[in-house]
Amino acid sequence: MKSIYSKLIIGFLLTSLLSFSICCFFTIRSYNRDSDQLALEELEHSSNHIADLIKLIDDKNQDKILADYSETSEMSFTVTCEGQTKSYGHVNKKLILKDDELKTLATSKEKSLRSEGIISQYAKAFKIDNQTYVITVQKDFSATKDIFMKSYTSAAIIFMMTGSIVFLIVADIIVKPISRLTKVTDELAKGNYKVRVNYEGKDEISSLYASFNQMAVRLAKQETIRQQFISDVSHEFQTPLTAISGFATILKNENLTDEQRQKYANIILFNSNRLSHLSKNMLQLTLLDGEDTSLDKSEFPLIEQLNRVIEMEDNAALSKDIEIEFIHPKKEFIIEADESRMEQVWINLLSNAIKYTNEHGVVTVEVRRTATELQVRFEDTGVGMSQDAISHIFERFYRQDKSRAIEGNGLGLSIVKRIIDLHHYKIDVESQEDVGSVFTVYIPYEMFTGLTKKKKD
Ligand code: ADP
């Protein structure tokens, strides 16, 4: 596996190489253009100077002065007059003009500029004292080119060195936080949910760290919930199972009376029903929790459904002499929802109201219509709840009555909440201990068609 470091280094080298080559190409091209121009100017100036010297000095001293000039100016040149050519300095043989070239140059008065490698040559004809001179000046520019190449190479080396140092520092700044994150992610993967990463600054890394910390917090929370869930499930299963096994052992005793046998068998039946109810509720919650849980929505009459539910719970209310009142507008409301799941919501809320209301109490089911929503209220005159209990009742396995004197498993309201959330409805609770409780489900305007139809009319 290639590390981020090596990838960054390869990237840096490739970028430097590419930009350096492009830069080199354009710089050398422009240098060559400029140096040709400079060479032309220098050579032209020298040839004019040589012509002036010939004009000014007498024939006797001419050779010596021209030789001195060649030495001091590091120029090599030839002077051709009346078919005779004299050379001064180290003239490059390859660049010596041929007779016909000299003739053309003398008659046409043209200038010529040629180069052989790093040697440049300039030739021009001059009229001095009615005689035609062709002066050909040469110069070796290798020293100038060397200086240029040396400065260019040292600039490139300095660039690469400082670039590499800066790059390594920058790479370290980028890679270090990633390596740190990798380390803590490994820790997290091993099950240490307490790990957190700190980072000062406001950039992509800081948001990555913030997301990691959020994830760790959520995982830790989920782990706590998971452990709590397992402990709750085993506890809820353990109690009825202990009762079943205990009373089944007692039943094996042949000396029991018929009445005792009946009583113990009923206890076993009650506890097995409790187990079956518990596993059904857990299955239902698991199904509702699934990521792809979909609602089987249809349009159905709400008042009719509530009437049906009240009839179903009538026996339980009668057994405690509880009166169920149903208050609703005359008009039926057609709502669009998952009919069987909403029936489950009403059953759970109504059965709780009956369960937690003492004998001779009153349970009121009421449907109210406001401008924005439909409210379905379940009000009882029961035991009520403390403020602390209210904040926990929708949690799985939560029961205010820790003694478990009242039958239940603490899953009913979790199922209600999940179904309400899936429908995007709302639910709230008002309660006072020893006075009673009110559970209200809010169905928003766009979810039921009763009002819509009325408005259109
Ligand atoms: P359970 O099977 O215990 O009734 P639920 O999830 O339906 O489970 O309710 C959770 C807890 O909320 C109950 O144990 C009870 O303490 C409280 N609760 C629910 N409904 C009422 C109510 N109408 N009056 C008082 N307490 C209630």
437 burial via Cβ count (<10 Å: 0-12, 13-18, 19+): buried
Radius of gyration of the chain (CA): 52
Question: Does the beta carbon of 216 lie inside 6 Å of ligand 1?
Answer: no
Sign of the C-alpha dihedral computed for residues 250, 253, 259 and 261 taken in this order? positive
Beta strand extents in 265-314 (DSSP E only): 297-301
- Residue 2 pLDDT grade (very low, low, confident, very high; cuts 50, 70, 90): low
Question: Does the beta carbon of 353 lie inside 6 Å of ligand 1?
Answer: yes
DSSP 323-378: EEEEE--SS--EEEEEHHHHHHHHHHHHHHHHHTS-TT-EEEEEEEE-SSEEEEEE
Q: How far is CA 304 from CA 330, 333, 376, 399, 422, in A?
A: 11, 9, 13, 31, 22
Protein residue whose Cα sits closest to atom 12 of ligand 1: 393
**Structure tokens given for 429:** 């609770």
Does 25 have pLDDT greater than 90?
A: no
Q: Are 252 and 284 in contact (CB under 8 A)?
A: no
Site to substitute for ligand 1 among 320, 322, 352, 394, most atoms within 8 A of C-beta: 352
pLDDT at 457: 37
Question: Does the beta carbon of 410 lie inside 6 Å of ligand 1?
Answer: yes
Residues 103-132 pLDDT 10s: 787 777 677 777 767 778 888 888 888 888
Question: Does the beta carbon of 302 lie inside 6 Å of ligand 1?
Answer: no
Q: How far does Cα 19 stand from its chain's mean position?
A: 31
Query: CB-based contacts of 373: which residues, under 8 Å, 6+ apart?
Result: 442, 443, 444, 445
Question: Does the beta carbon of 352 lie inside 6 Å of ligand 1?
Answer: yes
Nearest-angstrom CA–CA distance, 354 and 347:
10
Nearest-angstrom CA–CA distance, 311 and 391:
31
DSSP strand pairing (362-369 vs 323-327): parallel
pLDDT at 454: 43
Nearest-angstrom CA–CA distance, 119 and 140:
4
- Residue 360 pLDDT grade (very low, low, confident, very high; cuts 50, 70, 90): very high
Residue where the block lists tokens 């099950």 = 191
Least confident of 129-133, 340-344, 386-390: 129-133
Does 100 have pLDDT greater than 80?
A: no
Q: What is the CA(394)–ligand 1 centre distance, in A?
A: 9
Q: What is the CA(448)–ligand 1 centre distance, in A?
A: 28
Does 137 have pLDDT greater than 60?
A: yes
Does 141 have pLDDT greater than 80?
A: no
- Residue 351 pLDDT grade (very low, low, confident, very high; cuts 50, 70, 90): very high
pLDDT average, residue stretch 95-101: 74
Protein residue whose Cα sits closest to atom 19 of ligand 1: 352
Length of the chain: 457
Question: Does the beta carbon of 361 lie inside 6 Å of ligand 1?
Answer: no
pLDDT average, residue stretch 424-441: 96
pLDDT at 378: 98
Amino acid at position 26, single letter: F
Question: Does the beta carbon of 385 lie inside 6 Å of ligand 1?
Answer: yes
430 burial via Cβ count (<10 Å: 0-12, 13-18, 19+): middle
Nearest-angstrom CA–CA distance, 25 and 164:
22
Q: What is the CA(48)–ligand 1 centre distance, in A?
A: 115
Residues 235-271 pLDDT 10s: 889 989 999 999 999 999 888 899 999 999 999 999 9
- Residue 422 pLDDT grade (very low, low, confident, very high; cuts 50, 70, 90): very high
Question: Does the beta carbon of 339 lie inside 6 Å of ligand 1?
Answer: no
Question: Does the beta carbon of 380 lie inside 6 Å of ligand 1?
Answer: yes
Residues 32-53 pLDDT 10s: 778 778 878 888 898 889 989 8
Does 407 have pLDDT greater than 90?
A: no
Nearest-angstrom CA–CA distance, 380 and 431:
9
- Residue 449 pLDDT grade (very low, low, confident, very high; cuts 50, 70, 90): low
**β-bridge mates for residue 219, sequence order:** none
pLDDT at 448: 66
pLDDT average, residue stretch 317-343: 95
Least confident of 85-94, 219-228, 407-416: 85-94
Is the whole-model pTM more than 0.85?
A: no
pLDDT average, residue stretch 165-194: 89
- Check residues 455 and 65 and name the one with the higher pLDDT: 65
DSSP 208-259: HHHHHHHHHHHHHHHHHHHHHHHHHHHHHHHHHHHHHHHHHHHHT-TT--HH
pLDDT at 456: 38
Protein residue whose Cα sits closest to atom 20 of ligand 1: 352
Starting from the edge strand earliest in sequence, which strands make up the sheet with 84-88, in order? 84-88, 76-81, 131-140, 119-128, 111-116
Q: What is the CA(297)–ligand 1 centre distance, in A?
A: 28
pLDDT at 450: 53
Nearest-angstrom CA–CA distance, 181 and 198:
10
**Structure tokens given for 421:** 């959330």
Query: CB-based contacts of 452: which residues, under 8 Å, 6+ apart?
Result: 445, 446
pLDDT above 90 covers what percent of the chain?
A: 44
The number of the ligand 1 atom at minimal distance from the alpha carbon of 357 is 24
Does 311 have pLDDT greater than 60?
A: yes
Computed over every residue of the chain, the mean pLDDT equals 87
Does 453 have pLDDT greater than 60?
A: no
Q: 9: alpha, beta or left, given left = phi > 0 and alpha = psi -120 to 50?
A: alpha
pLDDT at 447: 65
